């Protein structure tokens, strides 16, 4: 394939999952660079955030192969190339050759050959199509290696070497040019807030000068699940909170983080941080989005260079606290519920107990899946995988396994708290005739709010 960068493709707003249309011809290599340049860029950017932690992980693998059995992709495909640690093999090779304490031995004796561009091209599929960075492999690894973090670093390298899948590159470019990966520009955002305010008759707060709470949304909610905005507004109004949306800081997804461009990542986080500081916010509420939680809750302060001057909560944590404090009361829902844990919020984010508290307050009978909570099986759509058309077949197969686990609980209702997971359930559910629906925890709470309590 040529090095041409014909990446412009239109958004596909009809499909259940939000991505660009299927490219007629794929351009999975970007920019004009010589092979040597690509390798150099890849290695430089891989090494950039390399520290003691990643080096320890690079040293520790004993090639036992256990990690394969925790990975939803390997479990669905049975392809040994989908073994988690194999996904970073070229980078492990480069580390041993160029950076590790024994690099001089490997290099002088040429024990580890130099990584080539062809090798990296072959690994594109392994790094982007078959890993959601869900972190399940760490649970099974006898050495506790955090492979997801290493995959993230390898992706940074690939991005700078211009070796990103076509669709993913296109959305990232859109995010950079338009401020939103999926067409949720400030104008679209404002229009949709107004629409939801009218439709649900809730009072919306936009661009207030002063507020205690800043509420963010991700492109997926704005475009696919705008009811989230109404639901959040309804609950916050009911609690009598001083809150606002800000058109100068609303996009919770961070494509700088996704694409591995730290300068962009910082820009995007700073937009939010500045908006929050301007209005004197004490709390920033993140929407039902796993990746946003990683970006602001766990990486925000590191971008800012000091601790954040406000608290950051995922909406499920906010709801759990509100229930604990008696600030909201919920009607009892006489149903059995199975909860799907979004990997980045639960296993890799630590907010696992919050949704369970909320469900308890709803009085439902909670049914855990066979491997639930921090052990949860990833839906297979995170980490941008859902945008890649080439990855569809395997993604549906993973979802097949997921459906079986959920169905086995016999629960009447399925709930999650990540809209990216949710759109994957919607898309795959349609494809595989699941016949059930994945619900939003937030919307469930809003729908069952006891309003006369005030």
Partner 1 sequence: MTLLDFARGPAMQIAIIIFVLGIFWRLVGVWALRQKKDLSEPRQKGAWIGGIKGLFVHAWPYKPFVPKVGTQYIVGYIIHLGLFIVLIFGTPHMLFFADIVGFTWWTLPGGVITAVSVITLVALFVALAKRLVNPVQRLISNFDDYAAWFLTTAPFVTGLMTKMNLWPHYETGLAIHILSVWLLLIYFPFGKLMHSFWFVVSRYTTGSRFARRGGMS
Residues in contact with ligand HEM by the rule CB under 6 A: 18-19, 62, 64, 133, 142, 152, 155, 168, 171, 181-182, 218-220, 253, 257-258, 260, 289-291, 294, 344, 382-384, 387, 418-420
Segment contacting partner 1 by CB under 8 A, of 4-12, 14-22, 141-149, 274-282: 141-149
Q: Which residue has the tokens 């090095």?
A: 3
Using CB under 6 A as the binding rule, whether residue 70 contacts ligand SF4 is answered as: yes
Q: Which residue has the tokens 């990683």?
A: 294
Segment contacting partner 1 by CB under 8 A, of 21-29, 80-88, 177-185, 223-231: 80-88
Selected binder of ligand SF4 within 141, 163, 257, 442 (CB under 6 A): 141
Segment contacting ligand SF4 by CB under 6 A, of 8-16, 82-90, 195-203, 403-411: 82-90
Q: Which is nearer to ligand SF4, 150 or 285 (CB)?
A: 150
Selected binder of partner 1 within 34, 116, 144, 393 (CB under 8 A): 144
Give residue 107's Cα distance to chain centre. Answer: 38
Using CB under 6 A as the binding rule, whether residue 258 contacts ligand SF4 is answered as: no
Using CB under 8 A as the binding rule, whether residue 166 contacts partner 1 is answered as: no
- Give the nearest distance from C-beta 385 to ligand HEM in angstroms: 8
Pick from 11, 23, 21: nearest CA to 183: 11
Half-sphere exposure of 454 (CA within 13 A, CB side): 10
Half-sphere exposure of 361 (CA within 13 A, CB side): 27
Instruction: Characterize 400-410 residue by residue with b for buried, 16 or more Cβ atoms within 10 angstroms of its Cβ, and e for exposed.
Output: eebbebbeebe
Rounded Cα distance, 143 and 320, in Å: 34
Helix axes 419-431, 392-408, angle to 10 degrees: 100
Q: Which residues contact 171 (CB under 8 A, 6 or more apart)?
A: 19, 20, 181, 182, 255, 384, 387
Rounded Cα distance, 233 and 203, in Å: 7
Using CB under 8 A as the binding rule, whether residue 125 contacts partner 1 is answered as: no
Q: Which is nearer to ligand HEM, 134 or 413 (CB)?
A: 134
Q: Where are the beta strands (DSSP E) in 198-353?
A: 213-215, 243-244, 283-286, 311-314, 336-340
Rounded Cα distance, 141 and 65, in Å: 9
Q: Which is nearer to partner 1, 169 or 310 (CB)?
A: 310
Tokens read off for 164: 């990103």
Q: Could you tell me whether strands 311-314 and 336-340 are parallel, antiparallel, or unpaired per DSSP bridges?
A: unpaired
Q: Which is nearer to ligand SF4, 57 or 189 (CB)?
A: 57
Using CB under 8 A as the binding rule, whether residue 105 contacts partner 1 is answered as: yes
Pick from 106, 117, 94, 100: nearest CA to 28: 117
Segment contacting ligand SF4 by CB under 6 A, of 79-87, 97-105, 257-265, 388-396: 79-87
- Give the nearest distance from C-beta 236 to partner 1 in angstroms: 22
- Give the nearest distance from C-beta 425 to ligand SF4 in angstroms: 17
- Give the nearest distance from C-beta 130 to ligand SF4 in angstroms: 7
Using CB under 6 A as the binding rule, whether residue 342 contacts ligand SF4 is answered as: no
Residue nearest to ligand HEM (CB): 384
Give residue 425's Cα distance to chain centre. Answer: 15
Phi, psi of 283 (to 5 degrees): -145, 135
- Give the nearest distance from C-beta 65 to ligand HEM in angstroms: 7
Rounded Cα distance, 269 and 274, in Å: 9
Cβ–Cβ under 8 Å, residues 241 and 213: yes
Q: Which is nearer to ligand HEM, 44 or 408 (CB)?
A: 44
Segment contacting partner 1 by CB under 8 A, of 6-14, 228-236, 342-350, 432-440: 342-350
Binding partner of 147, given ligand SF4, ligand HEM, partner 1, none, CB within 5-8 angstroms per partner class: ligand SF4
Using CB under 8 A as the binding rule, whether residue 351 contacts partner 1 is answered as: yes
Task: Give the count of residues interacting with partner 1 (CB under 8 A).
Answer: 65
Rounded Cα distance, 368 and 366, in Å: 6
Q: Which residues contact 191 (CB under 8 A, 6 or more apart)?
A: none
Q: Could you tell me whether strands 213-215 and 243-244 are parallel, antiparallel, or unpaired per DSSP bridges?
A: parallel
Using CB under 6 A as the binding rule, whether residue 132 contacts ligand SF4 is answered as: yes
Using CB under 8 A as the binding rule, whether residue 89 contacts partner 1 is answered as: yes
Three-state secondary structure call for residue 440 = strand
Q: Which residues contact 122 (CB under 8 A, 6 or more apart)?
A: none
Give residue 98's Cα distance to chain centre. Answer: 31
Rounded Cα distance, 366 and 172, in Å: 38
Q: Per-residue contact track with ligand SF4, 376 to 415, x per CB under 6 A?
A: --x-------------------------------------
Residues that bind ligand SF4 (CB under 6 A): 61-67, 70-73, 84-85, 87, 131-137, 141-143, 145, 147-148, 151, 378
Residues that bind partner 1 (CB under 8 A): 49-53, 55-57, 59-66, 68-70, 74, 80-81, 83, 85-86, 89, 100-102, 105, 111, 135, 138-146, 297-302, 304-308, 311-312, 346-352, 370-371, 374-375
């Amino acid at each position: 394939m040529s090095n041409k960068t014909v990446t412009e493709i239109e958004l596909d707003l009809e499909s259940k999952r939000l991505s660009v249309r299927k490219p007629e011809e794929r351009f999975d290599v970007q920019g004009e660079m010589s092979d040597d340049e690509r390798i150099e860029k890849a290695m430089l950017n891989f090494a950039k955030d390399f520290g003691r932690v990643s080096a320890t992980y690079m040293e520790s693998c004993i090639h036992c192969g256990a990690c394969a059995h925790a990975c939803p992709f390997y479990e669905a495909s049975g392809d040994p190339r989908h073994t988690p640690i194999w996904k970073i093999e070229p980078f492990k090779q480069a580390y041993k050759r160029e950076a590790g304490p024994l690099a001089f031995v490997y290099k002088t004796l040429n024990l580890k050959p130099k990584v080539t561009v062809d090798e990296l091209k072959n690994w594109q599929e392994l790094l982007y199509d078959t890993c959601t960075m869900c972190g399940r492999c760490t649970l099974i690894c006898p050495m506790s290696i955090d492979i997801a973090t290493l995959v993230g670093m390898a992706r940074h390298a690939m991005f700078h070497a211009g070796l990103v899948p076509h669709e993913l590159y296109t959305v990232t470019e859109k995010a950079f040019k338009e401020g939103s990966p999926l067409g949720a520009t400030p104008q679209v955002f404002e229009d949709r807030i107004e629409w939801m305010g009218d439709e649900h008759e809730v009072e919306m707060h936009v661009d207030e000068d002063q507020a205690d709470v800043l509420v963010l949304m991700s492109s997926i909610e704005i475009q696919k699940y705008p009811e989230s905005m109404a639901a959040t507004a309804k609950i916050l109004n009911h609690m009598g909170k001083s809150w606002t949306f800000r058109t100068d800081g609303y996009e919770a997804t961070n494509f700088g983080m996704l694409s591995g461009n730290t300068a962009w990542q910082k820009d995007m986080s700073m937009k939010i941080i500045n908006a929050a500081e301007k209005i004197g916010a004490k709390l920033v509420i993140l929407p039902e989005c796993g990746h946003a939680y990683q970006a602001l809750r766990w990486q925000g302060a590191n971008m800012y260079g000091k601790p954040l001057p406000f608290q950051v909560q995922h909406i499920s944590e906010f709801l759990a606290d509100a229930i604990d404090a008696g600030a909201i009361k919920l009607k009892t829902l006489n149903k059995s519920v199975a909860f799907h844990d979004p990997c980045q919020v639960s296993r890799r984010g630590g907010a696992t107990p919050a949704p369970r508290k909320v469900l308890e307050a709803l009085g439902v009978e909670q049914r855990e899946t066979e491997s639930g909570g921090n052990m949860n099986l990833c839906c297979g759509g995170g980490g941008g995988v859902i945008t890649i058309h080439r990855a569809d077949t395997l993604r549906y197969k993973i979802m097949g396994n997921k459906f079986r686990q959920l169905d086995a609980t016999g629960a009447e209702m399925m709930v999650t708290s990540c809209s990216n997971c949710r759109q994957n359930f919607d898309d795959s559910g349609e494809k595989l005739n699941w016949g059930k629906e994945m619900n939003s925890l937030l919307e469930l709470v809003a729908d069952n709010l006891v309003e006369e309590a005030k």
